Amino acid sequence: MSFNNTSSKFDVTALPTVVCVPCFSGAPWDLEVLIGLDGLPTRTMRLPEDLADVDAYANFLAEQVHDLDSYVLVGDSFGAVISLALAIRPPKGLVGLVLSGGFAANPLPRWKGVAATLSRFANGALYRHGTLRFHASQLASHFDAAAEVPHTQNDYRHLFVQNTPRSSYTARVTSVTQLNLLNDLALVRVPTLVLTPADDRLVGADAARQLLDGIRQSSEVVLPKTGHMFRFTHPTLYSNTIRAFLDSLQSVDVSPNSVAS
């Protein structure tokens, strides 16, 4: 697919709802800063706490969209994993999928996985200043300081301090430890955009390649000079790229009836 036009061509009354699925922090998206999505029907949510199974998160997401006749899932990082887990079912009404910094199998090398798992023993200040500082360092990129919205590692730590209890952090780590959806990727039946940062220390480049190899109707856009937290640091570029993908769906029949056939 080519994504050259970021202007709106949609009749809003016929547009699928853009459902924005939160990252590992669990916090709902700040939709106001994503100007590329202006004028589109959107919704977001806060992730439930303490779930330690990706399928349980997918069940939660299914409840959030059960009233929609037509929608596109846009999942960011852990939200991309949840969105993918729902898309492989495949659900009624889903007409498109955006996987942003996501993965189909646990991307963490063993030492990172062990370090993350140890969060269950880190209470109080040790969680806030130990576990979350380490996590923030993995989220950061050397592009963040010069970004549209500059961020520091402390900004990322603060996001988790404000939104992610230790028990939920540990449960989400547990949920991806044994994750492997690679053999299920062919079950995704909708056009899919794999949206990838140029510098991703947390997930790595192999994760995007696995998604592209496994999902038949998939294409990739790599956003230049961005890191894993590009939804926060580059909201205009990020949202315009998603808008271009949504515009591109006009060239194919993305009605729920055509997708399910």
Asked whether the predicted pLDDT for residue 215 surpasses 60, the reply is yes
Global pTM exceeds 0.85: yes
In terms of Cβ atoms closer than 10 Å to its own Cβ (0-12, 13-18, 19+), residue 253 is: exposed
Q: What is the pLDDT of residue 261?
A: 44
Residue 252: pLDDT band with limits 50, 70, 90: low
The CATH number of the domain covering residues in 12-107+180-260:
3.40.50.1820
In this predicted model, what pLDDT tens digit does every residue of 15-34 receive, in sequence order? 899 999 999 999 999 999 99
Q: What is the pLDDT of residue 125?
A: 84
Domain assignments of the chain as residue spans, ordered by start: 12-107+180-260
In this predicted model, what pLDDT tens digit does every residue of 149-194 receive, in sequence order? 999 999 999 999 999 999 999 999 989 988 999 999 999 999 999 9
In this predicted model, what pLDDT tens digit does every residue of 79-111 receive, in sequence order? 999 999 999 999 999 999 999 999 999 987 554
Q: Is 109 helix (H, G, I), strand (E, B) or coil?
A: coil
Residue 7: pLDDT band with limits 50, 70, 90: very low
Which tokens belong to 70?
């037509």
Q: How far is CA 10 from CA 6, 14, 84, 140, in A?
A: 11, 8, 25, 35
Q: Which residues pair with 94 in a beta bridge?
A: 71
Residues near 64 by beta carbon (within 8 Å), at least 6 away in sequence: 19, 43, 45
